[in-house]
């Protein structure tokens, strides 16, 4: 069913429509929240809170942008709120995020560490682009920044990751 039709049914109070959205977004949201928060329990709470916020505020969605962009923005804001509660100083150096990557445990750990060390905005951009496969335009709408800023942030994030992984992997083979 068309997503806009599902959203309209949600606005009309159809609980089965909310279930359809939940089934569609639960796993991508959980992956994103886990990577942002680094803790499974907090990620699950963030996803649940995101769905509650949607339920309470579905009438605020007016269209104009894709629903997924609007919905991801709610998730990102919810995760950011949790990070702010965890660290009132909430700056560039947030706690580690998890990254599910399979090739090897050492490479996975190196990648997790490298992603966790990225500044908050770069980490979110990278996760949304590389893991959730959102477009740069969608990311700019979700984060409320210009597409050019997304592009430059992704470029710097990839360069930073390449540098860190290069150093990390050289250290492991020495």
**The domain spanning residue 57 has which CATH number?**
1.10.1740.10
pLDDT in tens, 25-64: 999 999 999 888 888 999 999 999 999 999 998 988 887 7
Last residue of one domain, picked from the residues 90, 111, 127: 90
- Please, are residues 33 and 46 in contact by the beta-carbon 8 Å criterion? yes
In the block, tokens 């269209």 appear at 63
Q: List the domain range (segments joined by +) for residue 26.
A: 1-90
The total number of structural domains that make up the chain? 2
Given this model, what pLDDT does residue 108 score? 63
Same domain, yes or no, for 49 and 126? Answer: no
In terms of domains, do 76 and 159 share one?
Answer: no
Residues 34 and 60 in one domain: yes
pTM of this prediction exceeds 0.85: no
Question: Which of 28, 55, 90 finishes a domain?
Answer: 90
pLDDT digits (tens, 9 = 90+) for 114-124: 888 888 889 88
* Distance separating alpha carbons of residues 50 and 44, to the nearest angstrom: 10
At 143-160, the pLDDT tens digits run 899 999 999 999 999 998
* Same-domain check for residues 78 and 116: no
Q: Please check whether residues 45 and 79 belong to one and the same domain.
A: yes
At 66, is the pLDDT very low, low, confident or very high (cuts 50, 70, 90)?
A: confident
Please state, in angstroms and rounded to a whole number, the distance separating the CA atoms of residues 1 and 149: 34
């Amino acid at each position: 069913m068309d997503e806009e039709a599902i959203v309209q049914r949600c606005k009309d109070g159809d609980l089965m429509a909310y279930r359809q959205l939940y089934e569609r977004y639960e796993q991508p949201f959980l992956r994103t929240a886990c990577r942002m928060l680094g803790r499974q329990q907090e990620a699950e709470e963030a996803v649940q809170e995101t769905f509650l916020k949607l339920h309470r505020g579905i009438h605020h969605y007016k269209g104009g942008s894709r629903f997924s962009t609007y919905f991801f923005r709610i998730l990102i804001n919810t995760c950011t709120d949790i990070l702010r509660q965890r660290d009132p100083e909430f700056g560039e150096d947030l706690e580690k995020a998890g990254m599910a990557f399979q090739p090897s445990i050492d490479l996975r750990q190196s990648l997790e560490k490298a992603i966790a060390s990225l500044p908050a905005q770069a980490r979110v951009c990278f996760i949304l682009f590389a893991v959730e496969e959102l477009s740069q335009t969608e990311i700019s709408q979700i984060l409320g920044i210009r597409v050019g800023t997304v592009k430059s942030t992704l470029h710097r994030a990839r360069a930073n990751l390449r540098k860190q992984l290069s150093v990390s992997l050289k250290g492991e083979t020495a």
